[in-house]
A = this chain, B = another copy of it.
Amino acid sequence: MRRPKITVLRRDTKQRRAILTVLRNARGPLAPREICRRAQRLTPGLGLATVYRNLRKLSESGILRAVELPTVGRRFELASVPHHHHFVCRLCDRAYCTRSCTQKLADWVPPGFVVESHEITLFGICRDCSNS
């Protein structure tokens, strides 16, 4: 049983700023390893554990959102981006955001079940991979 947790961010460090900058400049959700790689260009010496700690705290405090993408694993994006879903390219594993969401999913479940949120992942081949 998972339980929610409230976290307060008490300090503004260059590591934390670098991680947020990376995600602000990303065009889709990124994996922790990739976030670390990119943030190290802004903060040399940044450790992977620090990235994980910040991703967790920033998620708990509502600034980031963890996106669990089937097959390619957990990635992170800014929580401020409006409701959307993701497309995963099966050739390059990159994730793209889709804008649409025209679902009425609440009535997919039997009486007694309550739907609180949903996640839709599309799989296929992205434009870059089609053209090569």
Chain A interface helix/strand/loop/mixed? mixed
* Binding-face segment, A7-15, A37-45, A84-92: A84-92
Known: A1-B93, A122-B105. A71 touches B68 (CB 8 A): yes
Specify which of B108, B111, B124 is in contact with A116 (CB 8 Å cutoff). Answer: B124
Specify which of B67, B108, B116, B127 is in contact with A98 (CB 8 Å cutoff). Answer: B108
- Number of copies of this chain in the oligomer? 2
Per-residue 0/1 for A83-125: is the Cβ within 8 Å of any B Cβ (1 yes, 0 no)? 0010100111100101110010101111111111111111111
Task: Count A interface residues, CB 8 Å.
Answer: 42
Closest 5 CB pairs of A and B: A68-B70, A112-B127, A116-B124, A115-B124, A114-B124
